[in-house]
Structure 1
Amino acid sequence: MKMLLESGVHFGHQTRRWDPRMRPFIFTERNGIHIIDLQQTVNKLNEAFDYARQVAADGGTVLFVGTKKQAQEAIGAEAHRCEMPYVSQRWLGGMLTNFHTIRQRVRRMEELEAQRERGEFGDLPKKEAARLEEELAKLQQMLGGIRHLDRLPDTVFIVDPAKERIGVSEARRLEIPIIALVDTNCNPEEIDYPIPANDDAIRAVKLLTGRIADAVIDGRALRQQAAEAEEAEKAAAMLALDEAALEDEMERRAAAQDEATTAELAAVFSDADVPPASVESQPAVADAGAVAPQAEAGR
Structure 2
Amino acid sequence: MSDESHIRHRHKAEGRDLSYPPLPEALVVGVYDNHTHLEISDGDDPLDYREQLDRASSVGVRGVVQVGNDVETSRWSADMAAIEPRMLAAVAVHPNDAPDYAARGELDDALQIIAELAGRPRVRAVGETGLDFFRTDESGRDAQFRSFEAHIEIAKENDLALQIHDRDAHDDVIRTLRRVGAPERTVFHCFSGDAELAQLCADNGWYMSFAGNVTFKNAGQLREALEVAPRALLLVETDAPFLTPMPYRGRPNAPYLIPHTLRAMAEHLRTDVSMLAAQISSNTELVYGRWDSEPVASPPTTPIGSVA
TM-score, structure 2 as length reference: 0.26
Larger radius of gyration: 1
